[in-house]
Amino acid sequence: MIQGIYTASTGMTALAQKQEQIANNLANVHTTGFKQSGLFTIAYQKLVKDDNDRVFANREIKADEVYVDYSEGTMRQTNGDLDLCIKGSGFFKIVTDAGIRYTRNGSFSLDAQGLLVTGDGSKVMGTEGFIRVEPNERVSISETGEVIQNGFTKGFLKVVDFQKPYELRRTGNSNFAPVNVEAVELQSQGYLVRQGYLETSNVDMIRNMVQMIASHRNYESSQKALHAQDETLEKVVNQVGALK
């Protein structure tokens, strides 16, 4: 009976964590370059001994791993000179206050020094350092990432990749960092940079809404099972015990 309460409670904990992931996905459905995530759960049994040295199976359900779906979002045309989208595999390399980060969010602008920066002011890396252009003058960016202004090359965007499956962690603002600080950057292969476009979030809103409803119903079912187990236990303690 106690085991039933424990199993229901662990299941509810895993479902609550899954709801958090789904809610985060839906909250970022309009965030440029955002990648949706999900949660793997596992159910297993482990053999334990009670106070009388009797072995029994302890069933558990727990969250195992949060995963990120790195599939491409769709391209949204903006016609902005500094709005960029990577078509294919890879990330823009940027420098934030917290260090090197990688992003698919190509909504860039210029700071007071004419450096190419992200929306939060992080500097965008080129193959030979930061990229500086003259403000208020047209900038052309080729599919290879070459930044051209007034007929002169101002630099090449640094588009990098990592060995797959990716071992990256979220750091906010659609940015990622390697889980292993010694992870080796790879030159992205077969990518195109599209000027005047942004990559939308890859969140499948319909699928996430269906998963949220299903997860909520499963949570309610586990909650009812827990209450039923608790009421039965209460009767055993208060009624059956009183007959002795």
**Does 10 score more than 90 pLDDT?**
no
Tell me: the pLDDT tens digits for 150-181?
999 999 999 999 999 999 999 999 999 999 98
**Does 56 score more than 90 pLDDT?**
no
**Does 77 score more than 80 pLDDT?**
yes
Tell me: the pLDDT tens digits for 211-236?
999 988 887 877 777 677 766 767 66
- Give the confidence band of 59 by pLDDT, cuts at 50, 70, 90: low
- Joined together, the tokens standing for residue 7 give 């199993």
Q: Is the pTM of this model over 0.85?
A: no
Share of the chain above pLDDT 90, in %: 64
Tell me: the pLDDT tens digits for 90-138?
999 999 999 999 999 999 999 999 999 999 999 999 999 999 999 989 9
